[in-house]
Structure 1
Amino acid sequence: MNTPGIEFGRKTAAAYAALCKPLCQKLHLTQTAFDILMFLANNPGYQTASDVVEMRKLKANLVSVNVDRLVQEGYLVREADPADRRRTLLRCTEKAQPIIVRGRALQEEFGQKLLENTTEAQRKAFCETMDIMNKNLDAILERDT
Structure 2
Amino acid sequence: MNTPGIEFGRKISAAYAALCKPLCQKLHLPQTAFDILMFLANNPGYQTASDVVEVRKLKANLVSVNIDRLVQEGCLVREADPGDRRRTLLRCTEKACPIIEQGRALQEEFGARLLEHTNEAQRKAFFETMDIINENLDAILEGEA
Same fold, TM exceeding 0.5? yes
Q: Distance in 2 between matches of 1:2 and 1:37?
A: 36
For the residue of structure 2 that corresponds to 1:131, the secondary structure is: helix
Q: Distance in 2 between matches of 1:10 and 1:101?
A: 26
> Aligned-pair distance for 1:75?
0.4
For structure 1, which runs of at least 5 residues remain unmatched after alignment? none
Deviations 1:3-51 (A, max 9, x none): 1111000000000000000000011101000000000000000000000
TM normalised by structure 1 equals 0.98
User: Could you say what the CA RMSD is over the residues aligned between the two structures, in angstroms?
Assistant: 0.8
> Aligned-pair distance for 1:103?
0.3
Identical-residue share of aligned pairs (%): 87
Q: Which amino acid aligns with 1:95?
A: K
For the residue of structure 1 that corresponds to 2:78, the secondary structure is: strand
Q: Could you tell me which residue of structure 2 aligns to residue 77 of structure 1?
A: 77
Q: Could you tell me which residue of structure 1 aligns to residue 66 of structure 2?
A: 66
Q: Could you tell me which residue of structure 2 aligns to residue 51 of structure 1?
A: 51
Q: Distance in 2 between matches of 1:124 and 1:70?
A: 38
Q: Distance in 2 between matches of 1:136 and 1:25?
A: 39
For structure 2, which runs of at least 5 residues remain unmatched after alignment? none
Deviations 1:55-101 (A, max 9, x none): 10101111000000000011000000011111000000000000000
Q: Distance in 1 between matches of 2:13 and 2:2?
A: 21
Q: How many residues align?
A: 144
Q: Distance in 2 between matches of 1:135 and 1:58?
A: 26
> Aligned-pair distance for 1:2?
1.3
Q: Could you tell me which residue of structure 2 aligns to residue 123 of structure 1?
A: 123
- After the TM superposition, list the runs of 4 or more consecutive aligned residues in structure 1 that deviate by more than 3 angstroms: none
For the residue of structure 2 that corresponds to 1:89, the secondary structure is: strand
